[in-house]
Amino acid sequence: MGEATALVLKVGGRETDPAGGLRGVVEFVVRAQRAGREVVLVHGGGEEVTERATALGLPTRKIEGQRVTDAALLEVVIEVLAGRVNSRVVNALTDAGVPAVGLTGLSGRLLPVQPAGEPPGSLGFVGEPTGARVRILRTLLDEGYTPVVAPLGTDHNGGVFNVNADSAAGAIAAAMGGELVLLTDVAAVRSDDGTEMRSLAGADVEPLVLAGTVRDGMIPKLRSAARAVAAGARSAWVGNLSGLGDDGPDPKAGTRLRPALPARRAPLLPVSQREMNR
């Protein structure tokens, strides 16, 4: 299958919980593959990180939906996301007959990052993807495997960073020219009067943030979607699990982000590094 058919599916903590939405996620991946779609799954797991951090006596603080991560908390993030959550999702897919391979953004230096925040570095060990080296994902997809990615990244010095899962999925979708699907716990983005917004332009996102219409975890989600469609993703969609059909989002559900200009099929990497994607 060609890379343009790839669907990059980001799931959060509720969708990785066996008592929550994990079964629904697995069922969707099975349906999508039967319909001929290639799926790359990127997962979060913030609630479990918070629970583990609390048990260890570590405080949790977020700025615009992003977790401030010091060295001690970074160890918790690695333990929970790369270990517990990633293994659980891979196992669930495998049990359903989907050959899955777990990896992180460190694998094959998949997610190169720079310090995130304003100013950069103000969030601690949190990285903002500068692109995605998706060759390892294409290799796995070509061999019939479903990649399951834990959102960790690395900088040019080899440092390890916590990466917002929406940002990680957006960077991957842009580099692959694929369809970005960001699952959340609401059916769609809502206006101030509660109306569901079916379509947004990338330029609409910041005004919504400034007006307070978009808050908390929806901020990095919509920013990631807007960046992705501007940088090469075929489309971006935000909604919940019930808005997914057999092979992708239902056109009558969720909120779709549309690019202001025709999408450019190019990852957010310097030309010398872009060649590594091929």
Parent domain of 260? 3-272
CATH number at residue 64: 3.40.1160.10
| Contact yes or no for 203/261 (Cβ under 8 A) | no
Q: Give the whole-angstrom CA distance, residue 43 versus residue 30.
A: 17
* 162-201 per-position pLDDT tens digit: 999 999 999 999 999 999 999 998 888 888 888 888 988 8
Q: Give the whole-angstrom CA distance, residue 118 versus residue 133.
A: 25
Any domain includes 95? yes
What are residue 120's phi and psi, to 5 degrees?
-55, 135
Q: Give the whole-angstrom CA distance, residue 226 versus residue 203.
A: 8
| Contact yes or no for 16/82 (Cβ under 8 A) | no
Q: Which residue, 134, 128, 223, 122, is CA-closest to 168?
A: 128
Tens digits of pLDDT across the chain (278 residues): 444 469 999 998 889 998 889 999 999 999 999 999 999 999 999 999 999 999 999 999 988 778 999 999 999 999 999 999 999 999 999 999 999 999 999 999 999 999 998 899 999 999 999 999 999 999 999 999 999 999 999 999 999 999 999 999 999 999 999 999 999 988 888 888 888 889 888 888 888 888 888 888 888 889 999 999 999 999 999 999 999 998 899 988 999 998 765 444 444 554 344 434 44
Any domain includes 277? no
| Contact yes or no for 115/167 (Cβ under 8 A) | no
Q: Which residue, 101, 100, 97, is CA-closest to 30?
A: 97
Any domain includes 278? no
Q: Give the whole-angstrom CA distance, residue 104 versus residue 76.
A: 15
Any domain includes 170? yes
* 211-227 per-position pLDDT tens digit: 888 888 888 889 999 99
Indicate the angle between helix axes 165-176 and 135-142, nearest 10 degrees: 70
| Stated pTM of the model | 0.89
| Distances, alpha carbon 263 to alpha carbons 112, 149, 185, 202, in Å | 22, 24, 28, 12
Any domain includes 231? yes
Tally of domains in the chain: 1
Any domain includes 16? yes
